[in-house]
């Protein structure tokens, strides 16, 4: 593979991301305080919110405040660095070294402080915690504070996704956009590259 293409592929640095779900005995504290979501400026977790009200198949989302519910909490680790990519690399290293106890301590502390006036007690009301570490989380999206403006076809993702023999790159990284629709679009592009060569 040409060095320029290797550099294009290596330019992407995954944005580390942690989604945490906390099962509560009930959501009465949220109801009493009349809140659905909470923001924590400067906190370990930057937010907490009652989970999306989804009913599917035989599963029904919680209908009343005295029923169990899930609270979704988000943590995006970053570390020292002069660019977003350096900060994300450092954050991934921190995340991989972090113990579950760190997450649990911060969950109990932040929810306890935010919801205590609604009668919330972390020791009684938290039933379960899941921590989904995504050290290789979201695709890197170019940032005008740190990244140059490339000529069409010259951005690292465009160079990196060029066909290499029978290998065709198709993922959200190939589009420098972190979401499912981009992964689908890049898959479609790669399939068209393949079928175009066969026709």
Res 136: pLDDT: 61
**Residue 188, SS3?**
helix
Residue 133 bridge partners (DSSP): 18
Structure confidence at residue 172 as a pLDDT band (50, 70, 90): very high
Return the closest-CA partner of residue 11 out of 93, 76, 83, 95.
83
**Helix ranges, the chain (H):** 3-11, 28-33, 84-97, 100-115, 122-125, 156-160, 180-198
Q: Which CATH architecture has domain 17-136?
A: 2-Layer Sandwich (3.30)
- Report CA-CA distances (Å) from 143 to 11, 34, 83, 136, 146: 13, 37, 10, 18, 6
Backbone φ, ψ for residue 152 (5° rounding): -50, 130
- So what's the pLDDT on residue 100? 96
Domain ranges for the chain, please list them.
Answer: 3-11+145-198, 17-136
pLDDT of residue 61: 84
Is pLDDT above 80 for 135?
no
Nearest to 36 by CA among 50, 24, 25: 50
Q: Is a pLDDT exceeding 60 seen at residue 46?
A: yes
- Greatest distance between any 2 Cα atoms in the chain: 68
The string of pLDDT tens digits covering residues 21-44 is: 999 999 999 999 999 999 999 999
Which of 122, 98, 124, 139 is closest to 48 using CA atoms?
Answer: 122
């Amino acid at each position: 593979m040409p060095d320029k293409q290797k550099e294009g592929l290596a330019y992407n640095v995954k944005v580390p991301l942690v989604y945490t779900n906390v099962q509560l005995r009930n959501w009465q504290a949220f109801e009493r305080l009349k809140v659905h979501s909470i923001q924590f400026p400067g906190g370990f977790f930057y937010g907490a919110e009652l989970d999306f009200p989804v009913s599917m198949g035989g599963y029904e989302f919680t209908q009343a405040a005295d029923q169990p519910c899930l609270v979704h909490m988000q943590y995006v680790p970053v570390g020292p660095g002069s660019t977003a990519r350096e900060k994300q690399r450092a954050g991934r290293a921190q995340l991989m070294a972090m113990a579950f106890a760190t997450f649990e301590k911060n969950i109990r502390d932040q929810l306890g402080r935010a919801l205590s006036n609604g009668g919330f007690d972390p020791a009684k009301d938290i039933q379960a915690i899941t921590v989904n570490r995504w050290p290789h989380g979201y695709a890197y999206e170019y940032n005008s504070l740190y990244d140059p403006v490339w000529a069409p076809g010259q951005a690292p993702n465009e160079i990196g996704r060029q066909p290499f023999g029978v290998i065709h790159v198709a993922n959200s990284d190939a589009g420098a956009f972190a979401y499912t629709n981009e992964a689908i679009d890049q898959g479609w592009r790669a399939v068209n590259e393949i079928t175009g060569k066969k026709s």
